[in-house]
Amino acid sequence: MALASVPVSPSQDDARRRSRIDLAAALRWAVRLGFHEGICNHFSAVVPGENDRFLINPHGFHWSEVRASDLVEVDSDGNAMDGREPPEPTAFFIHYHIHRLVPDAKVVLHTHMPYATALTMLEDGRVEPTLQTSLKFYDAIAYDDLYNGLALDDSEGERIAAALQSGKRVAFLANHGVVVTGRTIAHAFDDLYYLERACQAQVIAMSTGRAMRRIPQDVARMTADQMASDSERAQAVRHFESLKRLLDRDEPDYRD
């Protein structure tokens, strides 16, 4: 059952407004990068100051038209708090259970972006340690190798969440797509961007039919640790802020 509404402080109100703007920006940029698919897939973020509510893109909207004010606030029962149309069932079951069961998953980005999704179609498809960009995700990806149809019940969402509970921040869903999680929208979107770039390079390399050159495990681990440093995490924020500046120039209505 959803918690009763409580007064929102000015600082919380500002944080909620920023969260809406950032989530709308992520959706707009996903379109620019070709990560979207029709009106499917969803991006969500836990509402600042709440534990059982999250923002998500509205059902039936193309990502290129979503504004900050269009995002739907959903409670733990799947109800839209503002009385608008709730998200489609697959969106609720996937996003709610990840937010509920994975403490660091304050943001959940689910896409069918082409190159990462292509790897989910392969038997034992894995992101291989063969590129510096790929090492950003070394030992950070969970692989759910069971495809069981549309996620239309609690068990599907709980299974995906369970795969992420072992300290992973990305899940590859067999024959389906990917889920990227993060503590902030900026960090999650940075991961989403570089994940697709890594998968794109890998698919191109695999298409040559030649053996790939694997990076030794000790070097891969060291590089992954370097990429998890505070300076690199700050770089993700700067990346996202630069993307918002471009939207401010070209599509300022995303903030509305």
C-alpha span between 160 and 146 (Å, rounded) = 10
Banded pLDDT at 6 (limits 50, 70, 90): very low
Mean pLDDT of 200-213: 97
CB atoms within 10 A of CB 231: 8
12-255 classified as CATH 3.40.225.10: yes
Contact (CB, 8 A) for 75 and 52: yes
pLDDT level of residue 1 (50, 70, 90 thresholds):
very low
Q: Where are the domains of the chain?
A: 12-255
Is the pLDDT score of 160 beyond 50?
Answer: yes
Q: How far apart, in Å, are the Cα atoms of 64 and each of 27, 34, 169, 248?
A: 7, 11, 26, 14
Question: Range with the lowest mean pLDDT among 84-88, 175-179, 186-190?
Answer: 84-88
Q: What is the mean pLDDT of residues 181-191?
A: 97
pLDDT-wise least confident of 44-48, 50-54, 178-182: 50-54
Q: Is the pLDDT of residue 9 over 70?
A: no
- pLDDT reading at 59 higher than 80: yes
Specify the pLDDT at position 7: 56
Helix (H) or strand (E) holding 241: helix 230-250
Angle, CA 174 vertex, CA 168 and CA 180 arms, to 5° = 35
Per-residue pLDDT for 167 more than 70? yes
Q: For residues 149 and 175, give the distance between their C-alpha atoms in angstroms, rounded to a whole number.
A: 10
Per-residue confidence (pLDDT) for residue 85, from 0 to 100: 79
Cβ atoms of residues 196 and 115 within 8 Å = yes
pTM over 0.75: yes
Cα–Cα distance between 189 and 182 in angstroms, integer? 8
The whole-number pLDDT of residue 168 equals 96
Q: What is the mean pLDDT of the chain?
A: 91
Beta-bridge partners for 44: 56, 108
Per-residue model confidence (pLDDT) at position 156: 82
Q: Which residues pair with 173 in a beta bridge?
A: 144, 177
Mean pLDDT lowest among 17-26, 52-61, 95-104, 224-233: 224-233
Q: Report the pLDDT value the prediction gives residue 40, as an integer from 0 to 100.
A: 92
* pLDDT of 3 above 70: no
Q: Which two tokens stand for residue 114?
A: 């082409």
DSSP 8-state class, residue 80: B
Listed range (24-33, 81-90, 179-188) with the worst mean pLDDT: 81-90
Q: How confident is the model at residue 210 (pLDDT cuts 50, 70, 90)?
A: very high
- Among 151-165, 195-209, 223-237, where is mean pLDDT lowest? 151-165
Are the C-beta atoms of residues 192 and 111 closer than 8 Å to each other? yes
Q: Compute the distance between CA of residue 133 and CA of residue 130 in angstroms, rounded to an integer.
A: 9
Q: Which helix (H) or strand (E) holds 72?
A: strand 72-74
Q: How many residues does the chain have?
A: 256
| Amino acid at the residue 116 | A
